Structure 1
Amino acid sequence: MKNILTVKNLTTHYDTPQGPARAVENVSFTVKKGEMLGLIGESGCGKTTVAQSILRLIEYPGKIVTGEVDLDGKDLVNAKTSELEKIRWKDIAVIPQSAMNALNPVYSIGDQIIESILLHENISRKEALNRTKTLLELVGIDKDRWKSYPHEFSGGMKQRVAIAMALSCSPKLIISDESTTGLDVLTQAQVIALMKDLQRKLDLSIIIISHDLPLVTSICDRIAIMYAGKIVEWAGTSNILQDARHPYSKGLLDATPDLANPEKKVVSIPGTVPNLVSPPEGCRFRDRCQYAMETCAAAEPELVAVKSEHYVSCFLEKGAKYVL
């Protein structure tokens, strides 16, 4: 299946008085046409920075140091600002974390969607309005509410409006950045079900950024697990659930309650994500890993294939023995 997005060795740093914070380092992954990819990890692992780097929305003191981002043949890292303005929304769109902050309170929700359409497509306002009404119906909102303002909608409905806006120019890829954070559990389920339904109907490619492992595993085709600015495991969802290889991936699963198995003991991962201004030498997870070896401090593990389309960055996958 064709790759819509290819990210290779993406590295993004933030300048600080203490030195560069290495928020994202040598991150590589692909998103296939019609695929939903989950990008998960604890807060501070670099997930949002990856999204902002793909969209070229990194601002000072942040900067993309190296790497390639190819969106269906278009080089986003080296594209001029004028080219990016045409690509955003038309080819790639984002559903922000907080629709309440993303929507302008002084414009109707319809006018905001219409504006995004007219900026990128050479059609009349009447045609843009008709498309807006269709989009609102697609996300479960009465088309006659296009004149309503954001304050007249609930949090879940605002999120639906944000999804409609992301779909407004029929992009090839949508990035959903913690778009259900702050919503109640029932509304979260409705929004996620809507996104999955839209993905199937429109053959969309979607990146879901989240720290909610159960949510991601319930809807995504593949999952990339990030820790301290790096991808430590990347595989199909069933492989992650049934055969997670990296100690961090296993830790996330062990720390997740299982409603189907209420007797399962929930075990948290000790410690916190390291300071990325001065991350540990070697494997960045080693200080929290129960299987850490001398090798883990001496060198940095590479992301290697352990089986078909299952990649892991851990020395345990090279036949090394545990040091107890």
Structure 2
Amino acid sequence: MSNILEVKNLTTHYFTAEGPAEAAGDVSFSVRKGEMLGLIGESGCGKSTVASSILRLIEYPGNIVSGEVVLDGKDLVSAKEKELEKIRWKDISVIPQSAMNSLNPVYTIGDQIIESILLHEDVTKKVALERTKSLLELVGIDKDRWKSYPHEFSGGMKQRVAIAMALSCNPKLIISDESTTGLDVLTQAQVMALMKDLQKRLDLSIIMISHDLPLVTSVCDRIAIMYAGKIVEWASTDDIVNDSRHPYSQGLLNATPDLLNPDKEVSSIPGTVPNLVNLPSGCRFKERCQYAMNRCSEESPALLEVKKDHHVACFLEEGDYRE
């Protein structure tokens, strides 16, 4: 299966009065055509920075220091702004964290979707309206509700509108940035089921950014786990759940209750994510890792392929190619 997106050695800094904060450090991963990839980690690990870097939407004092973001053979990091204006929304779109804040309260939801279509495609307003109605039906909303205002919708319905808007220009890739945060558990499940259904029906590629590991493992094909600005493990969802190799991945799984196994002991990961301005030398997880060795304070582990399509950045895995 071919890759639609390749992120190669991406490094993004925020330049502060205390010094540069490395929110993304030498990040590499890919997204396959028709795949849903989960990007997981605690708050402050750099997930949203990676998303903004992919779209070249990093604002001052942030800056992409190095690396490549290749979409269908085109490097977005070196692309000119006019090229990016054509790519954003049409080739890559975003489902924002809070649809309640992203929708304009003084315009109907239909007018907002129509505007995005007319802005990026050479079609008539009549065509844009018909597409808007089809999109609303696609996400489970009556097409006649296109004349409704955001305040007339529930939180879950607003999130469906945001999904419809993200689909409006038939993008190749959708980035969902914590798009179910703030919704109740039942509505979260409904929105995620909708996105999984759309992924299969439309052959969509999706990056699902979240701190909610159970939610992501229920819908994603592969998962990349970030810690303190770096990818520490990247594998199929099955391998992450049943054969996780990095101590941080294992810690996240152990901190997650299992409804099917109520006797499972839940344990937290001690400590907190390090300050990205004053990062520790060596492995960034060493202060919270029960397996830390002297080497972990001196060297930073590289992301190695420990078995087919399973990458881990941990010295415990060096030379270990178990099947």
For the criterion TM > 0.5, the same-fold answer is yes
SS state at 2:170 partner:
coil
| CA deviation after TM superposition for structure 1 residue 319, in Å | 6.0
Q: Please state how far the C-alpha of 1:242 moved relative to its aligned partner.
A: 0.8
Other-structure match for 2:98: 98
The residue type equivalent to 1:143 in the other structure is K
Residue 315 of structure 1 corresponds to 315
Shift of 1:80: 1.1
Q: Give, in whole Å, the separation in 2 of the partners of 1:259 and 1:55.
A: 37
Runs of 4+ displaced beyond 2 Å:
none
2:37 maps to 37
* SS of equivalent to 2:104: coil
Supply the distance in 1 between the matched residues of 2:106 and 2:67 (Cα, whole angstroms).
39
Q: More deviation in 258-267 or 69-78?
A: 69-78
In the TM superposition, what are the counterparts of 1:125-164 in structure 2 within 5 Å?
125-164=125-164
Q: CA deviation at 1:74?
A: 1.6
The residue aligned with 1:218 is: 218
Q: 1:256-282, CA deviations, whole angstroms, 9 ceiling, x for partnerless residues?
A: 000000000000000000000011100
- Report the TM-score when normalising by structure 2: 0.98
Q: State the alpha-carbon separation in 1 of the partners of residues 52 and 102 from structure 2.
A: 15
Deviations 1:189-229, CA, capped at 9 Å, x for gaps: 00000000000000000000000000010000000000000
Q: CA deviation at 1:19?
A: 0.2
Provide the residue aligned with 1:87 in structure 2.
87
Is the deviation greater in 311-320 or in 130-139?
Answer: 311-320
- Give the corresponding residue for 2:183: 183
> Distance in 1 between the 2:319 and 2:50 partners?
31
Cα deviations across residues 159-180 of structure 1 (Å, max 9, x unaligned)? 0000000000000000000000
| Cα distance in structure 1, aligned partners of 2:56 and 2:161 | 24
Aligned to 1:65: 65
Question: How far apart are 1:290 and its partner, in Å?
Answer: 0.3
Cα distance between partner residues in 2 of 1:118 and 1:187: 31
2:84 and 2:115 map into 1 onto residues whose CA distance is 17
Provide the TM-score with structure 1 as the length reference: 0.98
Q: What 5-or-longer segments of structure 2 have no aligned partner?
A: none
Matched residue count: 320
Alpha-carbon distance in structure 2 between the residues aligned to 1:135 and 1:318:
48
- Which amino acid in structure 1 is aligned with residue 93 of structure 2? A
In structure 2, the residue matched to 1:9 is 9
- State the Cα deviation string for residues 280-313 of structure 1 (Å, max 9, x = none): 1000000000000000001000000100000000
- One-letter amino acid matched to 1:166: A
1:46 maps to: 46
Structure 1 unaligned runs (5+)? none
Give the alignment's Cα RMSD to 1 decimal.
0.8
Q: Partners in 2 of 1:270 and 1:164 — Cα distance?
A: 40
